[in-house]
Structure 1
């Protein structure tokens, strides 16, 4: 499956999960927005629509795109232009990466990609993505109950309902 990550080069490359995934050959890293695949699902924390199993076929056919850049910049042009109708947010999860451990919804790019594959029904890909990090398997364990629930949801609306029920 095609996994592409736009890397804005705004982080410490030694700690960057995108750089590590690229070196492991698990993702294609690009530095220009015009290198993103057309029609792919784009992970965007500002998207009003949550990722769900409904997106599985699109990911299989067109791919999955992660955006490794400052969330503060993500809501500005040119990022908004590229995400469009195929943008999806991820539901509530807890970060396990060393930089943001225990913080809700502040996932590394690797965590976001792994969670996406888990939610759309590719748990083996999620496990493979996280296997390259010492803390990676813990992310899946920490969020296992939520990920299982999200992966059983039939729609984006159901994913959001599960998230809201969990948060309350």
Structure 2
């Protein structure tokens, strides 16, 4: 599954997980919406949750993330063409937002999506480039497994609700 990033370049380059993925040829960075390929776009503002039902579209096209500062990650930023999907409830494993729900880095978003789409080995490969990568996968092992077992977006949302009810 090809990983593509609509790259804004507005955060700390030393902490930018998208840039590191590109350095290892694990993702391709794009500086404009027009240059970014059509695919499944990871968008926290999307109306539908990512589910295994999206796997074929992602495999045939691309898995796309927007890499920008959390301060500028408003809904208007997500103008990338494609099938927009929100990731379900997960917690960050990165050092900056450790343990905070839904404050994932670009690489965490990719790894979560890959796991949900049935590409767990690919998720492990991208996370292996980060010292804290295994921590993210360990923290979210149960929910990722449960989301990956769902049929569609509605089932993912139902499983997510169980985690939200615990909060």
Give the TM-score range, shorter chain. Answer: over 0.9
Distance in 2 (CA, whole Å) between partners of 1:57 and 1:91 is: 19
Structure 1 unpaired stretches of 5+:
none
1:121-159 Cα offsets, whole Å, 9 max, x none, are 010000001000000011000100000000001000100
SS in 2 for 1:90: coil
Q: Residues 131 and 57 from structure 1, CA distance in 2 versus in 1: closer, same or farther, beyond 3 angstroms?
A: same
1:163 aligns with 2:160: yes
* Segments ≥4 residues shifted beyond 4 Å: none
- In the alignment, is the contact (CA less than 8 A) between 2:128 and 2:134 conserved in 1? yes
**Pairing 1:34-73 to 2, within 5 Å after superposition:** 34-38=34-38, 40-73=39-72
Q: Could you tell me how far apart the structure 1 residues matched to 2:102 and 2:66 are?
A: 15
Q: Secondary structure at the match of 2:41?
A: strand
TM-score normalised according to structure 1 size: 0.93
Q: 1 CA distance for matches of 2:102 and 2:163?
A: 14
Q: Which residue of 1 aligns with 2:13?
A: 13
| Deviation at residue 70 of structure 1 after TM alignment | 3.2
CA separation of 1:117/1:57 partners in 2, compared to 1, >3 Å: closer, same or farther? same
Pairing of 1:69-148 with structure 2 (within 5 A): 69-77=68-76, 79-83=77-81, 86-148=83-145
Q: Secondary structure at the match of 2:157?
A: helix
Distance (Å, rounded) in 2 between the aligned partners of 1:46 and 1:117:
19
| Cα distance, 1:80 vs structure 2 | 3.9
The Cα shift of 1:72 comes to 4.6
Cα offset, 1:76, TM superposition: 5.0
Work out the CA distance in 1 between the residues paired with 2:78 and 2:164.
28
How many positions carry a matched residue from both structures?
Answer: 165
